[in-house]
Structure 1
Amino acid sequence: MSQSTQHISTPAKRLQDYRQVYFIGIGGIGMSALARFFKSKGAAVAGYDRHPTPLTAQLEKEGIQIHFTENIDLIPAKTDLVIYTPAIPKDSVELKYVRDTFKELEIVKRSDVLGWITEQTYNICVGGSHGKTSISAMTAHILRHTGYGCNSFLGGIAVNYNSNFWANERGVSVIEADEYDRSFLKLSPDIAVVTAMDADHLDIYGTAEEVENAYIAFTQKIKPGGLLISKYGLKRDPELTADNHLRYSRFDSTADVYAFNLSVDKGSYVFNIQFKDQVISELRLSIGGLHNVENMVAAVAVATYLGIKEDKIRAAVADFKGVKRRFEYYLKDDAHILIDDYAHHPEEIAALIEGVRSLYPKKLTVVFQPHLYSRTNDLAKQFAQALDKADEVILLPIYPARELPIEGVSSELILNGMHLEQKRILEKDALLSTIEKENPELLVLCGAGDIAELLKPVQHILEQKVNIN
């Protein structure tokens, strides 16, 4: 199926009329946002996932029933809508059961439901191979904080609200536009943001060119009279389509929107933003990473285009506390800096390292867990080049997620491509003992797998070192 003819289903009912919604793969970050959406509409919500997590525990506290072993007897009898994630295995017992048993039951992907939502609201859809979670969270936060109002469907947990979803009576939605499985081609943006078009998910697209084609098709989904805000200098910029087009940059003054006069004050970035002929001055961003300055430029561009006043934008930016697992501090004192980040693409890792170095002139140790055999195989050289920018690198074994092993593909592919002298591969237990022994002063853990489970143990080890000393 070509990107431009991506099938979009039509709901049998109004969204608020579904009374019992069941999720297969409810613990996913995008799925959980939709679960919260239907709960906010008064529906009874239940679901299945493979493993309990802090997110599923929070959903259960909110009144959503979840089980963790496939069991068809636990699917509510009066279910009138089943939503499943494309990451669910094809041999899923529950998915096969509902398909075979309930011929009239609506069974749709998460992307279908997001498509339904965008047919009913004014939509700000943020896509890109990296940066989209941060920009969508920043944008939604500014709209909420300033009183403009929006519904949000985020791919991460906004620290300010400890959630990836919130509802508002205003018919405006901020949606993270996911390129995996071509999901974002079912959306109908009024404003679309495109941050990058780098090769990723080649198990879906096959080639880098097809990835780029999908982003071009995404911009073709923008409604008549709508706005495209794209990163300045994208490879195929002339092919991106919209009636109105603004290009943003971190510092390049030839872009339509960019930051200038940046300084660092007490661990925060202070800067101005030029939006065409308008200046939004003295913005203070208290989360690390120069890439987050650029992300905020895009978010402020959206808010300014919507007519939100400068003083309100300034206050919202100052209050933004970030997204969990995006340059998130676990320790920040004189003895240790410990940062967690979701970075799992070479460009993200390079931006992360640059951001850390812009704040801390110390020896930088990066622990990286590669995510997916296919991504590691496709991008091993680029991962090696990005990680070479650190002072020391520790690689964990590949986190497979939905994939089976690929012969000859391991973390050694990355290690062998690196020029850095201080590099090694360690298992998780060995990593903890190494940190206890070596006591790194500036440590970054990154990856999209289960590396986050190591953060509390690492934090405890480093805090114990301070107490002992």
Structure 2
Amino acid sequence: MAIDRIHEYIMPGKRAHLVGIGGVSMAPLAEVLQGEGLVITGSDMKESETVEHLRSIGIPVVIGHLPESVEGKDLLIRTAAVHDSNPEIAAARANGIPVFERAQAWGSIMRRYENALCISGTHGKTTTTSMCTHIAMAARIDPTVMIGGTLPLLGTGHRVGKGKTIILESCEYCNSFLSFYPTVAVILNIEADHLDFFKDLEDVEHSFRAFADLVPPGGTVLANGEDENTMQALKGKGDVLTFGLEKGDFHAENLVWKRGLPTFDLVRNGEVAAHITLQVPGLHNVKNAIAAAAAGLILGIPGEAVARGLNDFRGAGRRFEFKGTVKGASVYDDYAHHPGELKALLDMASTLDYQRVICAFQPHTYTRTKALLNEFSQVLCQADITFLAEIFAAREKNDVGVSSEDLAKNIPGAKVAPSFAELTNWLYNLAQPGDLILTVGAGNIYTVGEALVKRGED
């Protein structure tokens, strides 16, 4: 089915059923579509706060995937995790009801905005999209926003605005972002990831090049000029603006650190466009901020609003998120699940004033762990103490024969916890003043940090 056909269905009065409506980008999609005048229903596997919220705004949600839920619908929209064998999808197909992917729906919506800012990259997407949101809110341009995580400013991961700008975190997995219609496409970095879908790094680069090629004449591709893979992907492409720490059309000068936090001048074409002070640590966040600031300036946002928006940013949910203290140790949680992200986190942690960095890491997916085993092992050696949880399977079965024990063998002193309860005990017994305890991974490892802090309060 041609992607463009969805535009025939995203219109007032059409009845759309969303399968997996409680998901992180499905719930905001439901709200946006409802705002467009569609009649929305949905299904999910379990009750949640998100499901309750959707019901509170007049969107009925059924728990469970029942064939009768699709009766009388004009179209179905599904998440990537929902397969053709799903009873609702099968029923829709049998009844000639068109089925579209979530990304296709976002792409259709995007076409209605004058400015569609899409932030892509192997890592840094959520933080940079969140920074862009802060900038847009500071400039009062009333954006519509879709972030793959929670932003405290919004109290959620999305916002439905009435302005001319939509800001979306844009993921390469399953080529989702190739359904989008960006007017400004940001590429933060490119590394080998999602190797359960992509063949290799070259395949990933090819996908990002196709993403950049979606930008129409008059639009802008903004790319990390200091990232070798990104530049390789865009080789020969004209009209690309670059950003970087030290070089590029947008770059930082006069970078200084005060109490672990950075201040710098953002330079555009040789002139200072904004003086930026961040309230989040780490060199990786300086890079993210340069990209976000550059995107804001490209959209015509004044430098003053760019600086104010970035100064107000305190981090996205699960991005070096402070959870509390236990026995005098500070407990933070982070979503890092790729070696590049993990290295940025541990590099940043080493610049802070802690005596020990204790990392509890939960690998995410078997294919990623197997493909990047050596890289993960090398990076995790940076922590003073490393504990490992079992691999979070997500959408996979362990067909590649890998376990957290394989990681631990290459990390001196590392131990694999048989359960979260045991891991919490280890961390609690070890904790002392001057420690930084990190719970890290894209799965449910954050519950360990929460249990640890709660135990310290009891």
TM-score, normalised to structure 2, is 0.92
Match of 1:99 among 62, 69, 93: 93
Deviation (angstroms), 1:201: 1.2
> Structure 1 counterpart of 2:451, which letter?
P
Q: Which residue of 1 aligns with 2:439?
A: 445
C-alpha spacing 1:204/1:270, structure 2 compared with 1 (3 Å): same
Deviation (angstroms), 1:18: 4.4
> Structure 1 counterpart of 2:333, which letter?
D
C-alpha spacing 1:402/1:59, structure 2 compared with 1 (3 Å): same
Match of 2:121 among 128, 137, 153: 128
Q: 2:202 aligned with 1:199, yes or no?
A: no
Tell which deviates more after alignment, 239-248 or 107-116.
239-248
C-alpha spacing 1:267/1:64, structure 2 compared with 1 (3 Å): farther
Deviation (angstroms), 1:459: 1.6
Deviation (angstroms), 1:230: 0.9
Q: Deviations over 1:396-422 (max 9, x none)?
A: 00111111122521112221232x334
Deviation (angstroms), 1:19: 4.3
Tell which deviates more after alignment, 388-397 or 230-239.
230-239
Q: Which residue of 1 aligns with 2:16?
A: 21
Does structure 1 conserve the Cα–Cα contact (< 8 Å) formed by 2:357 and 2:384? yes
Distance in 2 of aligned mates of 1:233 and 1:169? 36
Deviation (angstroms), 1:60: 4.0
Q: 2:81 aligned with 1:87, yes or no?
A: yes
Three-state SS of the structure 1 residue aligned to 2:284 is: helix
C-alpha spacing 1:461/1:275, structure 2 compared with 1 (3 Å): farther
Q: Deviations over 1:66-107 (max 9, x none)?
A: 33322334x26443231101112442222212222x21x231
Q: Which residue of 1 aligns with 2:322?
A: 329
Distance in 2 of aligned mates of 1:7 and 1:447? 36
> Structure 2 counterpart of 1:81, which letter?
L
C-alpha spacing 1:155/1:407, structure 2 compared with 1 (3 Å): closer
Q: Which residue of 2 aligns with 1:421?
A: 413
Q: 2:30 aligned with 1:35, yes or no?
A: yes
The size of the alignment, in residue pairs, is: 453
Distance in 2 of aligned mates of 1:358 and 1:7? 50
Q: Which residue of 1 aligns with 2:170?
A: 177
Q: Which residue of 2 aligns with 1:456?
A: 450
> Structure 2 counterpart of 1:13, which letter?
E
Write out aligned runs for 1:69-468 (5 A).
Answer: 69-73=64-68, 75=69, 77-100=71-94, 102-103=95-96, 105-121=97-113, 122-236=115-229, 237=231, 239-240=233-234, 243-249=238-244, 251-252=245-246, 254-265=247-258, 268-331=261-324, 335-406=328-399, 408-418=401-411, 420-440=412-432, 441-464=435-458
Does structure 2 conserve the Cα–Cα contact (< 8 Å) formed by 1:380 and 1:417? no
C-alpha spacing 1:422/1:415, structure 2 compared with 1 (3 Å): closer
Unaligned 5+ segments in structure 1 are 1-5, 465-469
Three-state SS of the structure 2 residue aligned to 1:230 is: strand
Unaligned 5+ segments in structure 2 are none
Tell which deviates more after alignment, 422-431 or 6-15.
6-15
Deviation (angstroms), 1:42: 4.3
Deviation (angstroms), 1:336: 2.6
Does structure 1 conserve the Cα–Cα contact (< 8 Å) formed by 2:360 and 2:439? yes
Q: Deviations over 1:119-147 (max 9, x none)?
A: 22221111111111111221122112211
C-alpha spacing 1:362/1:271, structure 2 compared with 1 (3 Å): farther
C-alpha spacing 1:28/1:421, structure 2 compared with 1 (3 Å): same
State the percentage of identical aligned residues. 28
Deviation (angstroms), 1:362: 2.4
Tell which deviates more after alignment, 48-57 or 452-461.
48-57
Distance in 1 of aligned mates of 2:48 and 2:281? 27
TM-score, normalised to structure 1, is 0.90
Does structure 2 conserve the Cα–Cα contact (< 8 Å) formed by 1:290 and 1:358? no
> Structure 1 counterpart of 2:45, which letter?
R
Distance in 2 of aligned mates of 1:81 and 1:144? 33
Does structure 1 conserve the Cα–Cα contact (< 8 Å) formed by 2:83 and 2:89? no
Distance in 1 of aligned mates of 2:160 and 2:15? 19
Distance in 2 of aligned mates of 1:266 and 1:57? 42
CA RMSD of aligned residues (A): 2.4
Does structure 1 conserve the Cα–Cα contact (< 8 Å) formed by 2:423 and 2:448? no
Does structure 2 conserve the Cα–Cα contact (< 8 Å) formed by 1:149 and 1:168? yes
Tell which deviates more after alignment, 455-464 or 402-411.
455-464
Does structure 2 conserve the Cα–Cα contact (< 8 Å) formed by 1:338 and 1:443? yes
Distance in 2 of aligned mates of 1:415 and 1:62? 48
C-alpha spacing 1:157/1:445, structure 2 compared with 1 (3 Å): same
Distance in 2 of aligned mates of 1:183 and 1:276? 33
C-alpha spacing 1:67/1:444, structure 2 compared with 1 (3 Å): farther
Does structure 2 conserve the Cα–Cα contact (< 8 Å) formed by 1:160 and 1:321? no
Three-state SS of the structure 2 residue aligned to 1:17 is: coil
Distance in 2 of aligned mates of 1:90 and 1:410? 30
Three-state SS of the structure 2 residue aligned to 1:15 is: coil
Distance in 2 of aligned mates of 1:55 and 1:263? 41
Distance in 2 of aligned mates of 1:302 and 1:439? 42
C-alpha spacing 1:70/1:239, structure 2 compared with 1 (3 Å): closer
Distance in 1 of aligned mates of 2:215 and 2:414? 47
Does structure 1 conserve the Cα–Cα contact (< 8 Å) formed by 2:124 and 2:188? yes
C-alpha spacing 1:209/1:239, structure 2 compared with 1 (3 Å): closer
